[in-house]
Amino acid sequence: MSNPLMTSLAPAYCALVIGASGGIGSAVVRQFEIDGNCSKVVRLSRRKDGFDVTDEDSMHRAAEVLKEEEFDLILCATGALTIDGVGPEKSIRALSQASMMAQFAVNAVGPALVLKHFAPLLARKKRAIFALLSARVGSIGDNALGGWISYRSSKAALNQIVHTAAIEISRINPLSLIVAVHPGTIATSLSEPFSSGHARSEPDEAATRILKMLDGLRSSSSGGLFADDGNTIPW
């Protein structure tokens, strides 16, 4: 049974999911597969394709393979909270140069390079969306708890990357939207160690909300950071 989600895109739109083997990425792929408007879904992941956001050569190779494609929607669903067994710090006293650099490599530099290599594959002359998963904890204005400095900072950097890239990309692709998305707290392995006392959404439910939110964005939304319910999150 079809489940039309992206009605603002082309009647038969094409989608690319980067990080398609992860909890959110795989759930978004499933929603695309049952969406009556989606004609084609391309998946990229480290597990299946050797695609690695910390390896620009792997991104370049994947983009070269897809260079003749034109996508109406690209979702970068990569990211990590715990890297090499090291989770977010509880205070500045626990900062480690190595772990902080690793957070930036995965959550900021990697997505920036994804934009570099894959934004040229966005459709031209019609509405097209490039969405990258960020996090509410990357908001400076919404931070009242402290802690998690490396992860928060890497996501704050990602938000700036998205905002800046949106300005540049709009000059050559004015109908495109480049946005950062807070997906909510999802029942995935990423959030499991930190979920005590917090409500979590199932991945398929979250994927549906994210896609409906993206579908409802206005052209003026490009460069923004949005929650899965469509509300703007302060920088």
Task: Read off the pLDDT of residues 146-168 as tens digits, 9 standing for 90 and up.
Answer: 999 999 999 999 999 999 999 99
Cα separations in angstroms, 214 against 5, 103, 120, 151, 190:
9, 26, 20, 24, 23
Categorize the per-residue pLDDT at 185 as very low, low, confident or very high, splitting at 50, 70 and 90: confident
pTM: 0.93
Domains and CATH numbers, the chain: 13-227 (3.40.50.720)
Q: Please say if the pLDDT value at position 196 is more than 60.
A: no
Question: In sequence order, what E strands does the chain have?
Answer: 13-18, 38-44, 73-76, 128-133, 176-182, 225-227
For residue 9, report the phi and psi dihedrals to the nearest 5 degrees.
Answer: -90, -175
Q: What is the mean pLDDT of the chain?
A: 93
Cβ(97)–Cβ(108) under 8 Å?
Answer: no
Categorize the per-residue pLDDT at 205 as very low, low, confident or very high, splitting at 50, 70 and 90: very high
Closest of 228, 195, 197 to residue 210, by C-alpha: 228
Structure-token pair, residue 99: 């772990």
Closest of 111, 119, 202 to residue 160, by C-alpha: 111
Categorize the per-residue pLDDT at 27 as very low, low, confident or very high, splitting at 50, 70 and 90: very high
Q: In what order do the strands lie in the sheet with 128-133?
A: 38-44, 13-18, 73-76, 128-133, 176-182, 225-227
Which amino acid is located at 137 in the chain? V
Q: What is the pLDDT of residues 74-96, one digit of tens each?
A: 999 999 999 999 999 999 999 99
